[in-house]
Amino acid sequence: MKQLLILSGKGGTGKTTIAGAFIRLSKARGYADCDVDAPNLHLILKQEIEPKTRNFYGLAKASIETKKCIQCDLCLKHCRFEAVSVDGSGRYQIDLNSCEGCGVCAYICPAQAITLNDYIDGKLELFKSNDSVFSTAKLKMGSGTSGMLVSEVKKQLTPFKDNIDLAIIDGSPGIGCPVIASISGVDMVLIVAEPSLSGLSDMKRIITTARKFETPIAAIVNRFDSNLDITNLIEKYCRDEGILLLGKIPYDKQVIKAVNDGLTIVDVDCLAGREVEKVYFKTIEYLYSL
Amino acid sequence: MKIAVLSGKGGTGKTFVAVNLASAIAKSIYLDCDVEEPNGHLFFTPQNIEKEEIKIKIPFVLSTLCDGSRKCVNFCRFNALAYVDRKLMVFEELCHSCGGCLLVCPNEAIKEKEKTIGVIQDGISEGVRVISGFLNPGEVSGIPIVKGIFDKIKADNEPVIVDCPPGSACMVMESIKEADYCLLVAEPTTFGVHNLAMVQELVKVFRKPFSIIINKVSDDKNPAKTYCLEQKLPIIAEITYQEEIGRISSDGLILVREKPDYELLFAQIYKSVLKELKR
């Protein structure tokens, strides 16, 4: 199973739009949405079947049994996450949003008043039809376990790896834990850049990050004609850094229309769709040459 | 007074709104909490920058004192420690800096060292104090940097605009914790609506007063507006897509400084927020 991961650094450059089109074009038998705190791929790749769902347990969370608590303050002193607080009546409690489940408070408590409990941190979904498998998830609000959930989303594809020759994975913005978790084990990262000063800066940061994992990288510029000067800078950067630029996709109003109709851009006949198709073939050629 | 600007989906115009809002207020502080991809500084190009490195604590082993009890390995819930070939190994990228291994070690064989994970830059751009966090590429969590950003303004009274990261996970939560008001920036697409619904849930969990800015409005369908009307969500402003705005922003310029007529729009948004907060 070859794994192609689509990333961008900056949000809103068109990762999901490109991923959706690639999945349609390749008739990919496996695909996944790793943007677990804002998943959108399912909106343009509508599933007719019901998913298999299961809860995602992230890190455990501490809880204090008030009756046993002797108010010694040790848990509050030792918690590095500022997750322990005392209310007006002297009651010690855990802020579940801040607790990272390290277990220090439970260890230090002389009264055994603190326990660590499993905690549901999101939901995983797996759509399995005769010809494809789609893995996606939704992280619980404010959770700090997005990287773990991303790994779970990818793991849902592994039982099918012998039947899938290409898996296309839609990533999340940024360069932190969910992105790092998504890069691990993929065969290639495709970066969707946007011609703005922000887009250029973010592209450099995601490339620096991806390179640390020695994963092959290629890039494309989306909406390249919205700022030709910066598109030139992106092209120059890629040349200087030895990164293959696989194509440039023009700004096209039809893209937003397709998204709003719940379609991928290759489901409608449009300029951007035709260019994406060219980029797709180049990407596949590169991926299989690795 | 702190106003957080957030969106769920990336690329809706959080930084655009935050930068212009901060610039439209006579004296303000702009905080860039999108430490994975900070871009506010590209617009402000702040001067007189003071830098502060952000460090976290990472354990290291005094191998002569380690007797191989594996107590730390068994304690660590993040699998950041392993005892292999009679040697204790630390996987720094998995460590959450909880300090548990130091506590459980019977021989005081574990100490902590500091590791730099990023930097905070504090500078000035015209009337705006610009504070930006930068996470080093390869580092996993920017939470300590976001905490460090808020520590910098503890003693200040100027209005604060917080530019949040995308998504709805821990980084966003950390960025809106101290906010008095949230501005949700949505784009008029089905993606935008779906992610707007998510962040709306987040601000409700934190009981923050909020309203919505719909950005990049065109004459096409506007599912974001339909959603707001259906759900009776307050729309504080709609910003029409114009090529010129896109061009100015993509060149890294600040709209209200280039086109004074837009200063009115953002000043008006600020006034409306103040009015709502007084109620």
H or E segment at A73?
none
The Cα–Cα gap between A266 and A21 comes to 6
Q: Which of A182, A162, A220, A208 is nearest to A39 (CA)?
A: A182
By the 8 A CB rule, do B16 and B42 touch? no
pLDDT, residue A39, reads 94
B98–A38 CB contact, under 8 Å: no
**Chain B residues within an 8 Å CB radius of A197:** 39, 42, 250-252
Quick one: angle between helices A253-260 and B190-205, nearest 10?
60
For B146-156, what is the mean pLDDT? 96
Q: Which of B205, B213, B163, B208 is nearest to B183 (CA)?
A: B213
**CB proximity A132 to B under 8 Å:** no
The Cα–Cα gap between A223 and A195 comes to 7
Nearest to A260 among B170, B190, B243 (CB): B190
**CB proximity B215 to A under 8 Å:** no
The Cα–Cα gap between A127 and A28 comes to 13
Over residues A192-248, the pLDDT tens digits come to 999 999 999 999 999 999 999 999 999 999 999 999 999 999 999 999 999 999 999
Name the residue in chain B with its Cα closest to that of A177: B140
pLDDT, residue A142, reads 86
At residue B259 the predicted structure's pLDDT band, cuts being 50, 70 and 90, is very high
A205–B36 CB contact, under 8 Å: yes
Nearest to B138 among A16, A195, A212 (CB): A212
At residue B26 the predicted structure's pLDDT band, cuts being 50, 70 and 90, is confident
By the 8 A CB rule, do A39 and A137 touch? yes
% of chain B with per-residue pLDDT over 70: 100
**Chain A residues within an 8 Å CB radius of B243:** 226
B42–A198 CB contact, under 8 Å: yes
DSSP state of B11: T
In DSSP terms, A54 is beta-bridged to: A124
Nearest to B190 among A142, A196, A259 (CB): A259
**CB proximity B32 to A under 8 Å:** no
B170–A142 CB contact, under 8 Å: yes
**Chain A residues within an 8 Å CB radius of B42:** 197-198, 201
pLDDT, residue A144, reads 87
pLDDT, residue A288, reads 96
**Chain B residues within an 8 Å CB radius of A144:** 141, 143, 169-170
The Cα–Cα gap between B24 and B228 comes to 26
For B192-209, what is the mean pLDDT? 91
**CB proximity A115 to B under 8 Å:** no
Quick one: angle between helices B14-24 and B260-278, nearest 10?
90
pLDDT, residue B55, reads 97
Q: Which residues contact B204 (CB under 8 A, 6 or more apart)?
A: none
DSSP state of A251: -
**Chain B residues within an 8 Å CB radius of A38:** 8-10, 166-168, 194-195, 198
Over residues B44-101, the pLDDT tens digits come to 999 999 999 999 999 999 999 999 999 999 999 999 999 999 999 999 989 999 999 9
**CB proximity A226 to B under 8 Å:** yes
pLDDT, residue B248, reads 96
Which alpha helices (DSSP H) does chain A contain, by range?
A: 15-26, 41-44, 74-78, 104-108, 146-155, 177-183, 197-211, 228-241, 253-260, 271-289
pLDDT, residue A270, reads 96
- Return mean pLDDT, chain B: 95
Segments in chain A below pLDDT 50: none
**CB proximity A103 to B under 8 Å:** yes
A156-193: b or e for each residue (b if 16 or more CB lie within 10 Å)?
bbeebeeebebbbbbbbbbbbbbbbbbbeebbbbbbbb
At residue B220 the predicted structure's pLDDT band, cuts being 50, 70 and 90, is confident
ipTM above 0.85, yes or no: yes
The Cα–Cα gap between B43 and B39 comes to 7
Pairing of strands B128-135, B110-125: antiparallel
B36–A37 CB contact, under 8 Å: no
| 3-state class (DSSP) for residue A72 | coil
Q: pTM for this structure?
A: 0.94
Looking at the complex, report in whole angstroms how far the Cα of residue A62 sits from the nearest Cα belonging to chain B.
13
Which alpha helices (DSSP H) does A27-145 contain, by range?
A: 41-44, 74-78, 104-108
